[in-house]
């Protein structure tokens, strides 16, 4: 018997206020256990809109989004926040607090599953600190745990963001162009790290990426969006020059 998809989008449409066209148009997608998915497409193709629909940061104009079999498009904001605790997210510009240390930034990954008063006063238990240290170690930043994030390189900052997401103990790992601002060598190392974490924790991973080489090297499945529509869904090996021309042409 086939496993239930972790995330499912059914006929999802998104149209932003003031726009005369859909950012996503009748969009259908299933993400299954163990998949490492890379998403290609030009700027404005709908990649960021799609990823924000996956974790409930944006509610569709039409259609339904399911997480673990539950329709999250019916959820209120507190219920959506709970869903997001199961989805680690990393961004192009890291979304870290520069003046805080690596350890302090990683510990914020626990916020969604803690009492608000603990977050307010910055109290963390010994167990939470030990888990944060393990996450920092897993991204090879143990020697930098007390260093302010503002003094780190771009690649190190993205490792901090990955450790923070890992501390959530997510079922799903999402990335919105997480290596777009990094040099090719650092981008490759970050993808290699994400792949190791993906396999170790048996996650569903979906990464929006502009680098076709990275997508073909690491993905088990590639999606391509154009004008808010899914135009390719298949093997990395199937992303031919002809397909790239269709994906990125004007």
Q: Is the pLDDT of residue 1 over 50?
A: no
Residue 91's pLDDT is: 86
Q: Which of 108-117, 149-158, 159-168, 210-219 has the lowest mean pLDDT?
A: 108-117
Phi and psi torsions of 6, nearest 5°: -70, -45
Residue 140's pLDDT is: 92
Q: Is the pLDDT of residue 122 over 80?
A: no
pLDDT digits (tens, 9 = 90+) for 175-185: 999 998 899 99
- Assign 242 to helix, strand or coil: helix
What distance in Å separates the CA atoms of residue 127 and residue 153, rounded to the nearest whole number? 29
Q: Is the pLDDT of residue 117 over 60?
A: no
Q: Is the pLDDT of residue 51 over 50?
A: yes
Quote the pTM value.
0.89
What whole-number percentage of the chain has pLDDT above 90? Answer: 75
How is the chain split into domains, by residue range?
A: 34-45+82-248
Q: Is the pLDDT of residue 123 over 90?
A: no
In the structure, what pLDDT confidence band is assigned to residue 81 with cuts at 50, 70 and 90? Answer: confident
Task: Say if CB 16 and CB 62 are below 8 A apart.
Answer: no
In the structure, what pLDDT confidence band is assigned to residue 94 with cuts at 50, 70 and 90? Answer: confident
Q: Is the pLDDT of residue 241 over 80?
A: yes
In the structure, what pLDDT confidence band is assigned to residue 46 with cuts at 50, 70 and 90? Answer: very high
Task: Say if CB 128 and CB 135 are below 8 A apart.
Answer: no
What whole-number percentage of the chain has pLDDT above 70? Answer: 94
CATH code 3.40.50.300 for 34-45+82-248: yes
Residue 216's pLDDT is: 95
pLDDT digits (tens, 9 = 90+) for 190-216: 999 999 999 999 999 999 999 999 999
Q: Is the pLDDT of residue 119 over 80?
A: no
pLDDT top residue among 118 and 85: 85
Neighbouring-strand partners of residue 149: none
Length of the chain counted residue by residue: 250
Q: Is the pLDDT of residue 112 over 70?
A: no
At 64, which helix (H) or strand (E)? strand 62-67
Residue 2's pLDDT is: 58
Rounded to the nearest integer, the mean pLDDT of the chain is 91
Residue 114's pLDDT is: 55
Give how far the C-alpha of residue 127 lies from the chain's centroid of Cα atoms, to the nearest Å.
26
């Amino acid at each position: 018997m086939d496993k239930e998809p972790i995330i499912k989008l059914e006929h999802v449409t998104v149209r932003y206020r003031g726009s005369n066209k859909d950012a996503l148009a009748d969009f259908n997608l299933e993400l299954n256990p163990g998949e490492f998915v890379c998403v290609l497409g030009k700027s404005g193709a709908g990649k960021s809109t799609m990823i924000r629909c996956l974790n409930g940061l944006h509610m569709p104009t039409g259609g339904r989004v399911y997480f673990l079999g539950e329709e999250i498009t019916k959820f209120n904001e507190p219920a959506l926040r709970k869903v997001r605790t199961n989805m680690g997210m990393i961004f192009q510009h890291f979304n870290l607090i520069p003046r805080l240390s690596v350890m302090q930034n990683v510990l914020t990954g626990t916020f969604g599953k803690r009492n608000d008063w603990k977050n307010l006063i910055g109290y963390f238990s010994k167990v939470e600190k030990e888990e944060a240290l393990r996450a920092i170690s897993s991204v090879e930043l143990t020697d930098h745990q007390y260093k302010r994030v503002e003094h780190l390189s771009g690649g190190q900052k993205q490792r901090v963001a990955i450790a923070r997401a890992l501390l959530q103990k997510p079922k799903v790992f999402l990335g919105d162009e997480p290596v777009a601002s990094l040099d090719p060598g650092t981008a490759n190392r970050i993808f290699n790290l994400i792949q190791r974490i993906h396999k170790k924790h048996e996650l569903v991973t979906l990464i929006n990426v502009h680098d076709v080489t990275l997508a073909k090297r690491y993905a088990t499945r590639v999606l391509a969006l154009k004008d808010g529509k899914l135009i390719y869904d298949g093997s990395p090996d199937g992303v031919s020059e002809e397909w790239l021309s269709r994906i990125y042409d004007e």
